[in-house]
Amino acid sequence: MNFDLSKTQKMLQDASRTFFQRECPIAKVRELIDSEHGHDSALWTRIAEQGWTGLTLPEEHEGLALSLVDLAVVSEEIGHCCLPSPFVATTWASSLIDSSGNAELKKTLLPSLALGESIATVALLDEDSDWNPATVTMSATSSDAGVVLSGSKRLVLDAGVADTLLVVARIQDDLVIAVVDKTASGLRMEPTPGMDLTRRYYQVDFENVSAEILASGAEAEAALKRSIQIGAIVACADLLGGMEWVLKTTVEYARSRQQFGKAIGSYQAVQHQCSDMLLMNESARSATYYAAWALHENDPAGDEAVGIAKAYCSEAARLVGNSGIQIHGGIGFTWEHDLHLYYKRAKSNEYLFGDPSHHREQLAQLIIN
Amino acid sequence: MDLNLTESELKFRDDLRAWLKENLPEKPIKAESDNDPEYWNALRDWQKQMFEGGWAGVTWPKEFGGRGATSIEAGIYMEEMAAFDAPERVGTIGEGLIGPTIMAEGSDEQKEFFLPRILNATDIWCQGFSEPNSGSDVASLATKAVLDGDDFVVNGQKIWTSYAKVADWCLLLVRTDNDAPKHKGISALLVDMKSEGVSVRPLRQMSGESAFNEMFFTNVRVPAKNLIGKLNDGWRITITTLMNERANLGSSIYIMFKNNLDKLLGRMKELKRGGIRLADDPINRQKVAQMYLELEIFKLTTNRALSKIAKNATPGPEGSILKIYWSEMNQRFVQSTMEILGDQAQLQDFDDGSWVHAYLRSRGNTIEAGTSEIQRNIIAERVLGLPRSY
Ligand SMILES: Cc1cc2nc3c(=O)[nH]c(=O)nc-3n(C[C@H](O)[C@H](O)[C@H](O)COP(=O)(O)OP(=O)(O)OC[C@H]3O[C@@H](n4cnc5c(N)ncnc54)[C@H](O)[C@@H]3O)c2cc1C
């Protein structure tokens, strides 16, 4: 057993850290925040050139066929620089396609996603549902070409720049995943800005929209579950990278800021908060990388490990953020300081792919039943 | 990163499983009263049996009678002991703290004499560090030792000494130079608890039992050959011991937490409150899932630390992170347990008072082996590099 990153994983870590520091300094983040879609297609192309848009996809579909641990490594760096991009949406969507058994659609959709030539997202949540796909109610009717969709989806990530939407609906009791092209007639979307300035959410309405079927029934359920778990790993790693940034920034500040003639970092009330931030950061790291590994290996503990990581990292990032702001004092409460960008992103990550209560309930089912 | 067990790690695990299946005592070993001699004898027997099977001192080098296991295998060991609900290890202070200190700092003669006796439970050890006026600031200790011929003569008082009542030997910190700065005048002695002039008075803990004690030393003669390391070099030795203590305590304690959690889950499935099964109450489910996930993360971080120790040989100040983690986690656990089980949990005859005991005992966790405040000071200053606060 070896918990250390392998040599090639460490190289990936260095490469992605250097890349994002160069390509996405905080000034760039702020510029993207003010743009319409929070997305820079030229930067996206450069990310794709590194292969990171197809990191875990099979080689036959232009992917790098790397592991979920590698995906966590890159996602951590993305979180560390707070990159606004459709990375989460596209990774979720491509994992969903890849986890299905639909060879034909894999061939048509995956290569352009892997190469960064197209962007996709998943529309899961409807009016009453939560992150458990069993609670989705949006209904679809069968048609010659596949299905016809009517209804609404909320909190759809990056729908504004997505070429393809994967819509989760239901034909009677059967779950179905439908592939909707952005040009389809009857499709309407409205931005629903959230607290997180680095991510774009949309309300998407469907009125008799025709779509192809990616998967249905048990196959759709299994593919969705897997892709949501992969999404949760990405979110955890993103949280981890953000926490790391907050911790580092806060410790540096505590060392340099002087009050009462001494560095505030020499006061225990400040020191102890920093120590707790480190403790949470380290715990989040253990949980995230273990989950990535276990899910990749199809280890029996995989389901449990993902839930543990998502529940823990979500809360840890919030608490680390709380202390980070507190230790900065007034400047930490300003729009000008970058802390709030991370703090707000942590909140959207907290909800994405299920919040702590959701995962604790899933965990309870595993350990009680 | 590869968390699969290697072939030799798998073999280690399977050998241990096979041995435990054959050798685990049929009945749990339980104390009828404080310092119940039968209890301690049974624990010594169990330790001896483990030693003879090759399962004591697993991380000790083979030359000292250990198994030469890696730190990863030590982690496997703790998991398997938990899974089998194995009895408490009487030798933990000797095996985890004193043994490694003697190996690192002791003379050949000391190694030869003491090490085997630790592993086969001939000797139970205690750790005489804290004094009434020297707790967190243990370097300010006042117990005095003066060389007189071939012996040190020791006078003073120690307090909060766990196991002192049953211990055969004590690692005792004494002041041997009054004029030097406080860290530079301390020495470490290996003291026979049967020496004339040693007296032990049990102190009752808020949890009811008397696991810790006061020790009084009146003109106790300790042969000079029982000095460990050099004269006035005791502080450095203390640091070694304390680092081992922090890295170690967590491992054996995982066993206890895991068993408690399983016991709680069992109770939640049986008992009802307000007409519904405790296990079906959504708030209880949230709480128990939180306990479960915190415990699993404790194991993961421990494994990560073991991965690191495997490379760097000795535990570092990061041990303080684990110490805070498990001690405060346990305090949250027992609180959640009390909430989940409800009013009956306060009763002494409900599950033999084990919940009451766990609840109260947990308050000591953030004090023993260095308080949470001291651990946070250590992390802030030695890991994060913040300026010293004192
Ligand atoms: C169950 C149990 C078993 C024990 N077993 C042993 C044993 O076997 N051998 C042994 O030698 N000792 C043992 N101890 C003693 C233990 O190590 C001490 O109690 C501990 O180090 C604290 O010392 P103290 O009790 O003197 O408290 P103090 O040091 O007086 O501390 C009181 C409070 O002040 C805080 N404080 C002190 N200094 C600072 C500082 N610099 N910054 C911030 N806060 C500070 C502490 O955190 C604490 O909250 C045991 C204790 C317990 C509870």
The tens digit of pLDDT for each residue in A11-43 reads: 999 999 999 999 999 999 999 999 999 999 999
Lowest mean pLDDT across A202-206, B28-32, B111-115, B364-368: B28-32
Q: Which two tokens stand for residue B169?
A: 């030997």
For A99, residues 6+ apart whose C-beta sits below 8 A from its C-beta are A222, A223, A224, A226, A227
Q: B58 — phi, psi (to 5°)?
A: -60, -35
**Bridge partners of B188?**
B173, B228
Q: How many residue pairs bridge chain A and chain B with CB atoms within 8 Å of each other?
A: 150
**A10 inside 8 A of chain B by CB:** no
Catalytic residue (one of B245, B294, B328, B339): B245
What spacing in Å lies between the alpha carbon of B294 and ligand 1's midpoint?
A: 25
Q: Tokens 């406080």 belong to which residue? A: B182
State how far the Cα of B37 lies from the Cα of A225, in Å rounded to an integer.
Answer: 56
Q: A143 — phi, psi (to 5°)?
A: -140, 175
State how far the Cα of A341 lies from the Cα of A195, in Å rounded to an integer.
Answer: 9
Kindly tell me if the per-residue pLDDT of B248 is higher than 60.
no
**B283 inside 8 A of chain A by CB:** no
Kindly tell me if the per-residue pLDDT of B66 is higher than 70.
yes
Q: What is the mean pLDDT of chain A?
A: 97
Mean pLDDT calculated for residue range A299-319 = 97
Q: A189 — phi, psi (to 5°)?
A: -140, 155
Architecture field, domain A221-368: Up-down Bundle (1.20)
What spacing in Å lies between the alpha carbon of B373 and ligand 1's midpoint?
A: 10
- pLDDT in the model for residue B166: 93
Q: Do B387 and A363 make contact, defined as CB atoms within 8 angstroms?
A: no
DSSP line for A283-329: HHHHHHHHHHHHHHTT-TTHHHHHHHHHHHHHHHHHHHHHHHHHHHG
Architecture field, domain B249-382: Up-down Bundle (1.20)
Q: Which of A232, A358, A357, A237 lies closest to A286 in space, CA to CA?
A: A237
Is B328 noted as a catalytic residue in this protein?
Answer: no
**A324 inside 8 A of chain B by CB:** no
Q: Which two tokens stand for residue B366?
A: 């953030």
Q: Which of B369, B370, B375, B380 lies closest to B92 in space, CA to CA?
A: B369
Please give the residue that has the higher pLDDT: either B311 or A292. A292
- pLDDT in the model for residue A218: 97
Which CATH class name applies to A120-217?
mainly beta
Kindly tell me if the per-residue pLDDT of B240 is higher than 90.
no
Count Cβ atoms within 10 A of the Cβ of residue A269 and give its class: 0-12 exposed, 13-18 middle, 19 or more buried.
exposed
Mean pLDDT calculated for residue range A172-196 = 96
Which CATH number applies to B125-232? 2.40.110.10
The reply to whether CATH 1.10.540.10 applies to domain A7-114 is yes
- pLDDT in the model for residue B246: 64
Q: Which two tokens stand for residue B146?
A: 């003066």
Domain coordinates in residue numbering, chain A: 7-114, 120-217, 221-368
Nearest atom in ligand 1 to the alpha carbon of residue B138 is: 21
SS3 B258: helix
Q: Do A275 and B307 make contact, defined as CB atoms within 8 angstroms?
A: no
Pocket, ligand 1, Cβ cutoff 6 A: A 268; B 126-130, 135-136, 160-162, 212, 364, 367-368, 370-371, 373-374, 377, 390
Q: Which two tokens stand for residue A185?
A: 């007639």
Q: Do A3 and B279 make contact, defined as CB atoms within 8 angstroms?
A: no
- pLDDT in the model for residue A298: 95
State how far the Cα of A250 lies from the Cα of B382, in Å rounded to an integer.
Answer: 16
Nearest atom in ligand 1 to the alpha carbon of residue B128 is: 11
The interface predicted TM-score of the complex, written ipTM, equals 0.91
Mean pLDDT calculated for residue range A149-168 = 98
Q: What is the pTM of this model?
A: 0.93
Domain coordinates in residue numbering, chain B: 7-90, 125-232, 249-382
Surface of A (226-265) touching B: CB under 8 A? 251, 254-255, 262-263, 265
Quickly state the pLDDT bin for B144 (edges 50, 70, 90): very high
